[in-house]
Structure 1
Amino acid sequence: MNENVIVVSEANDVERAVFYKKTYIHVAIAILSFMVVEGFLLRAVPVELIQQMMGGKFIWLFIIGLFWLGSIVANKFAFSLSKNMQYVGLGIYVLIEAIIFLPVLYIALVMSDGAAVVQQAAIITLFMFGGLTAVVFLTKKDFSFLRTAIVVGGFVALGLIVAGAIFGFNLGLWFSVAMVALASASILYQTSQIKDKYHTGQYVGAALQLFASVMLLFWYILRILMSRR
């Protein structure tokens, strides 16, 4: 049977192991690619433009809209039947994540001990991601019940972010804490879906979903650590 029509939960042990290996390798590749692209942007993009991204509310709203539209396109491509288009989708998503992270990483890196803060956020993110992944695989629990809370929480968060950009108010520490919880729930949900619902040929799309949740987690852990400085 073609790998694209075998549900992971119905595959044999070897097929599941290959699927999981490919999925998490692609997550690692996406993270490494993000680091390379982000490093290039931090060196190539003029500081004035980065500061405009931070200071102009309409520019930031445009970036949010671009991120939303790009995410839709990237997800559509990542689940295409064409393997080449799947990689295009993952590449697009890595690029738009690098763009949206540019101002916050710039701010973090110009702070005193900024590099250490970024490193701490990355380590915490990876440990949380590993722990949440282990919870799904070790407990064998179905976390699909989290979907409604994630969707509702995502729309509420987006509304607050847009309102904050328009009216210029700071969402504060507790919003970041709530978003860490939302990102953690998303990792539990996506990992559960990967284990039970995806097809064995959808490892690129699965990797994109996990990468998106990891980056959301990293963003708000970084914001929390930055707020302490």
Structure 2
Amino acid sequence: MDHNNISSYQPLIAASDDTRVAFYKRTYAHVALAVLLFIVVESIFLRIEPLVEFALSMTQGWRWLLILGGFMLATNYAENIAHKSHDKTKQYLALLLYVIAEAFIFLPMIWIAIAYSGGSMNIFDNSIINQAAVMTLALFTGLSAIVLFTKKDFSFLRNILMVGFFIALGLIVAGMIFGFNLGLAFSAGMVVLAAGSILYQTSNLVHKYSTDQHVGASLGLFASLMLLFWYLLSIFSRD
């Protein structure tokens, strides 16, 4: 019997303090690598003019719902692999798929932020993007620290978040049907939902995963981080 294999599947909550700390370090290192990869892929996408034009064209009307639907399918597939599989190769492929999907979804938003500020196509040389990124990092760090230091279980947020996201999706569809702008209040509400998602995902990090699932844990945290960044960037991009 392979005792190393058994230990690799040990629930994190039952592991030693040293094992948990090592797991947290690996998880957040993967989140950082996912962010770095996102920046690289986004920078490449921004320089492919036909791709930018296609992404911008897909934000009009019902075509945006097709993009969101495809993104949700990719997200669900990636999360299922990353969270349920113990195959490291599949977990990394799932994370890679998700990062690329995020980069494409963000393409219109990043392009608009750059155009609004009149800056270059260098993501790092844009005040709006930098402001949203700093605020996102600060909130993500603070919310993660709350869970990691208190060890509080925020699993009760799951149903609240599901209801909130369904309401948000309904409002997005209604906005497309009736042609109204969701406005600043909607973006602020989504920031709150994203903050709740970070608390929930970090709680899962502490209470739900086994010691070999740091890639899956990083995908959940990365998804919440990018959701927060999206709506903060939306707020900062407004007149």
What is the TM-score normalised by the length of structure 2?
0.90
Distance 2:127 2:176 in 1: 28
Question: Structure 1, unaligned stretches of length 5 or more?
Answer: none
What is the letter of the counterpart of residue 147 of structure 2? V
**1:62 aligned to 2:66?**
yes
Aligned to 2:27: 23
> Are residues 81 and 185 of structure 1, via their aligned partners in 2, closer, same or farther at CA, if it must alter by over 3 Å?
same
Q: CA deviation at 1:136?
A: 0.9
The RMSD of aligned alpha carbons is 1.4
Distance 2:211 2:169 in 1: 32
Distance 2:179 2:235 in 1: 19
What is the letter of the counterpart of residue 20 of structure 2? R
Distance 1:73 1:140 in 2: 29
Q: CA deviation at 1:112?
A: 2.3
Aligned to 1:176: 187
What whole-Å deviation, never above 9, does each CA across 1:193-223 have from its counterpart, x for those lacking one?
Answer: 1111111111000000000000000000011
Any idea what SS the aligned residue of 2:173 has? helix
Residue 86 of structure 1 contacts residue 205 of structure 1 at CA under 8 Å; is this kept in 2?
yes
Distance 1:143 1:104 in 2: 31
* Identity across matched positions, percent: 52
- From 65, 84, 95, the equivalent of 2:89 is 84
What whole-Å deviation, never above 9, does each CA across 1:2-50 have from its counterpart, x for those lacking one?
Answer: 3442111110112111111110000001100000001100111424323
Paired residue total? 227
- From 153, 170, 192, the equivalent of 1:142 is 153
Tell which deviates more after alignment, 70-79 or 86-95: 70-79
Tell which deviates more after alignment, 78-87 or 27-36: 78-87
Aligned to 1:33: 37
Residue 55 of structure 2 contacts residue 104 of structure 2 at CA under 8 Å; is this kept in 1?
no
Aligned to 2:79: 75
Trace 1:93-112 onto structure 2 (pairs within 5 A).
93-112=98-117
Residue 117 of structure 2 contacts residue 128 of structure 2 at CA under 8 Å; is this kept in 1?
no
Aligned to 2:210: 199
Question: Structure 2, unaligned stretches of length 5 or more?
Answer: 120-125
Aligned to 1:165: 176
